[in-house]
Amino acid sequence: MAARPSTQHRSTPLTPSAYFRRGIYRIALRIILFMILLTSAIVAGGLVGLAVSLRDLPDVRVLQNYIPSQTTHIYDVNGRLLDSIHGEANRQVVPLDAISPHLKRAVLAIEDSSFYYSPGVNPVGILRAFMADLQADRIVEGGSTIPMQLVKNLFLTPKQALARKLAEAVLSVRLSQVFSKNQILEMYLNQVYWGRNDYGAQTAAETYFGKPAADLTLGEAAMMAGMIQAPEDYNPFASLRIAKERQALVLGRMRQLGWITPAQQAAALAEPIVLKKVSPFEPSVTPYATDVVVAELVDHFGSEALRRGGMQVQTTIALETQQMAQAVVTAGQKELVRQGYTIGQMALIAVDPRTHFIKAVVGGVDYAKSQYNRATQARRQPGSAFKPFVYYTAFASGKYNPDSPIDDSPVSYPDGNGGWYTPHDYDRTFWGRITLRRALEYSRNIPAVRLGQYVGLDNVIQTCRTLGITTPLEPVVSLPLGDMGISPLEMANAYAAFASNGWFAPATIILRVSDSYGNVLLDNTPQPQLVLNSWATASLTSVLEGVIAKGTGVAAQLSRPAAGKTGTTSDERDAWFVGYVPQLATAVWAGNDDDSSLGSTAVGGGLAAPVWRQFMEKALAKEPAENFPNPRQFPSP
């Protein structure tokens, strides 16, 4: 059997140069393997570190219940805007379908044209930005999608770092998994900053063009979209030329994407841009009134809720009445100064007796010079304007009526300090025995002090408390002469109960408060309660009608039934008139902030009553005259 040929063969001997090349290859291979292992370890370590850092990122699902801070808007009773209040962000949130399609397309074109088909990140854009950042060794290009911008604004710091960009990317993907594209776009358009302290499309559209976001034209929308990258520099108030350049850039991008035609592009570029003429930082048109609104809102909801709440506040005042009141006060003070009185300030506040809604509030002559609201914050001695509380208490006791006699003769009482208090009248005369009606009509002091002693000063104070006067009051002998401070608001609202024949409710300047979704947060539907005796109140009103008809308040006469009382304090430091008709009660105060004298001849009937009359004539011009109830309609106590 023939031997099988051997399959083994002897290899050709290697030359020295071949041995050298083989060694080099082996070394190179080992180096490459080592570098791969080292790089893998570094990458693995980096990924572990990144995973640890990203593990603590916020949960985007919290945005399902997120309500951004919004501007609170204050309106008059007829729905006219009086003021807008906000913290850092001036914003009004609107649904996506309340934003112009032009603006939505313009923003997407310039900010994230692949928005509707990307997973929340744009890999091509990020890679391009990464290479640019790597070359410059710093962040020079963003590559951010709209979801990335949104999560950056809501969750992350503005610090420029690669780690933050990675966090943006992760959160953006999460965001796109939890929310629909329309939901994300709605959040973005309500969140984005448009310069001049304006956040969100609705507020920006109102600021720049004086219209809601739904009504923006293509030209306006392109200009707004062009502002986003640098809103303080690109807005048209800063530079209309630059804003037009940015507008052209946006329109060019929209044309490039095929989202508008060449004809639409040309028309938008040629479209005249009409900017809002008034500064976006408009002061309140009724500052004294809106200050009172803000104070009441803070009492109900707190200051933080006011700044962030986006509340819609309907007040009880009418703009025309408020402006009329301010004009009357300003003109009245100037006229009194012209007559020689040293009068620095006046205040006026009017309350509807049927609802106890505040209808006008003027806290001073000029808000620009002094924001102190003397109508609600000042506590000034009302003088004889306090006397009706004493007389009502007497009538309600069942022991007195307007024709009851009282002595107007010298009297002294222990002052509690070892001395004596001796009241006297302005003219230093004594009228002897007179009726309570005549004593109040002519504001005699001694009868008021005597009557206070007869009915009990604690009972007088209780009457004041029933009528909403919370100012501390002491049962001192001189209390009936109004020697303790009370605010004009307290006086007006207390007299409003007299005007309604005994019905009272706490005064308010807010009718209704709703949140940004229309849910009612506060409803001040009138709920007056009968707190006074009807006969005693009607009797008091009949006497106070005499004050205006023939007593110290003749300067307040109207062409209709009216009741009221003058007030002047010692040394002529305060002058008052507080009066009412069935539809309106108003208090007017005149004085000086430093408590100095108005002048030796200053009295409430001469200073405050004419201003009261001027306001009431204007405010009641469209109201029919009404009579007060007759005391005979009611049984006496």
Architecture of the domain delimited by 326-633: 3-Layer(aba) Sandwich (3.40)
The residue annotated as part of the active site, out of 84, 111, 539, 545, is 111
pLDDT at 37: 46
Pick from 156, 161, 159, 224: which is nearest to 192 by CA? 224
The residue type of 564 is G
Cα–Cα distance between 209 and 235 in angstroms, integer?
A: 12
Count the Cβ atoms, other than its own, within 10 Å of residue 558.
16
Task: Sort strands 198-199 and 90-91 into parallel, antiparallel or unpaired.
Answer: parallel
The residue type of 538 is A
Q: Which of 19-33, 495-509, 572-586 has the lowest mean pLDDT?
A: 19-33
The residue type of 633 is Q
pLDDT at 328: 97
pLDDT at 1: 39
Is residue 554 within 8 A of residue 603, CB to CB? The reply is no
384 is catalytic: yes
pLDDT at 360: 97
What is the pLDDT confidence band of residue 119, given thresholds at 50, 70 and 90?
Answer: confident
What is the pLDDT confidence band of residue 64, given thresholds at 50, 70 and 90?
Answer: low
250-305 per-position pLDDT tens digit: 999 999 999 999 999 999 999 998 987 654 445 678 999 999 998 999 899 887 77
Task: Sort strands 413-414 and 345-352 into parallel, antiparallel or unpaired.
Answer: unpaired
Cα–Cα distance between 344 and 342 in angstroms, integer?
A: 7
The residues facing 581 across adjacent strands are 584
Cα angle: 418, vertex 423, 427; to 5 degrees: 150
Pick from 256, 299, 277, 264: which is nearest to 101 by CA? 264
pLDDT at 85: 76
Determine whether 399 is exposed, middle or buried from the number of CB atoms within 10 Å of its CB (0-12, 13-18, 19+). exposed
pLDDT at 13: 52
SS3 for 94-105 is: CCHHHCCHHHHH
The residue annotated as part of the active site, out of 118, 144, 176, 384, is 384
Token pair of 429 as six digits: 């005369």
Q: Coil, strand or helix: which one is 212?
A: coil
Residue 440 scores a pLDDT above 90: yes
pLDDT at 416: 76
* 92 compared with 453, residue with greater pLDDT: 453
Displacement of CA 51 from its chain's centroid (Å)? 45
Would you give the DSSP letter of residue 374? T
Residue 51 scores a pLDDT above 70: no
What is the pLDDT confidence band of residue 163, given thresholds at 50, 70 and 90?
Answer: low
Residue 42 scores a pLDDT above 60: no
Token pair of 420 as six digits: 């004596």
Pick from 410, 384, 447, 435: which is nearest to 608 by CA? 384
The residues facing 96 across adjacent strands are none
Determine whether 95 is exposed, middle or buried from the number of CB atoms within 10 Å of its CB (0-12, 13-18, 19+). exposed
Pick from 310, 314, 283, 319: which is nearest to 296 by CA? 314
Please, which residues have CB within 8 angstroms of residue 205's CB and are 6 or more apart in sequence? 103, 211, 212, 213, 215, 216, 220, 224
Cα–Cα distance between 222 and 623 in angstroms, integer?
A: 51
Residue 120 scores a pLDDT above 90: no
Cα–Cα distance between 555 and 576 in angstroms, integer?
A: 12
Cα–Cα distance between 491 and 467 in angstroms, integer?
A: 9
Token pair of 416 as six digits: 């509690």
What is the pLDDT confidence band of residue 8, given thresholds at 50, 70 and 90?
Answer: very low
Count the Cβ atoms, other than its own, within 10 Å of residue 174.
18
Q: Is the pTM of this model over 0.75?
A: no
Displacement of CA 59 from its chain's centroid (Å)? 33
Q: Which of 111-120, 544-553, 590-599 has the lowest mean pLDDT?
A: 111-120
Distances (CA, A) of 538 to 43, 267, 376, 402, 495: 91, 72, 28, 11, 12
Cα distance between the two ends of the chain: 152
* Overall fold of domain 89-270: Penicillin binding protein transpeptidase fold (1.10.3810)
141 is catalytic: no
Pick from 221, 243, 219, 215: which is nearest to 231 by CA? 243
The residue type of 567 is G
Cα–Cα distance between 588 and 613 in angstroms, integer?
A: 10
> What residue spans define the domains of the chain?
28-57, 89-270, 326-633
Q: Where are the alpha helices (DSSP H) in 137-237?
A: 146-155, 162-178, 181-191, 201-209, 218-227, 231-234
pLDDT at 389: 98
HSE, CB side, 13 Å, CA atoms: give it for residue 323: 7
Count the Cβ atoms, other than its own, within 10 Å of residue 240.
14
* 542 compared with 156, residue with greater pLDDT: 542
The residues facing 198 across adjacent strands are 90
Find the mean pLDDT for residues 234-248.
Answer: 91
Cα–Cα distance between 629 and 542 in angstroms, integer?
A: 9
Percent of the chain with pLDDT over 70: 81
The residue type of 101 is P
Token pair of 607 as six digits: 């200073």
Is residue 510 within 8 A of residue 450, CB to CB? The reply is no
The residues facing 567 across adjacent strands are 576
367-401 per-position pLDDT tens digit: 989 989 999 999 999 999 999 999 999 999 999 99
202-221 per-position pLDDT tens digit: 888 988 998 999 999 999 99
Pick from 226, 309, 327, 310: which is nearest to 269 by CA? 226
Cα–Cα distance between 73 and 39 in angstroms, integer?
A: 59
pLDDT at 138: 47
Token pair of 481 as six digits: 């002469």
Find the mean pLDDT for residues 572-600.
Answer: 95
Percent of the chain with pLDDT over 90: 60
> Do the domains 89-270 and 326-633 sit in the same CATH topology, yes or no?
no
Would you give the DSSP letter of residue 483? -
pLDDT at 170: 76
Please, which residues have CB within 8 angstroms of residue 177's CB and are 6 or more apart in sequence? 120
pLDDT at 26: 60
Mean pLDDT of the chain: 85
What is the pLDDT confidence band of residue 117, given thresholds at 50, 70 and 90?
Answer: confident
Displacement of CA 329 from its chain's centroid (Å)? 24
Q: Cα-Cα-Cα-Cα dihedral of 73, 74, 79, 82, to 10°?
A: -110
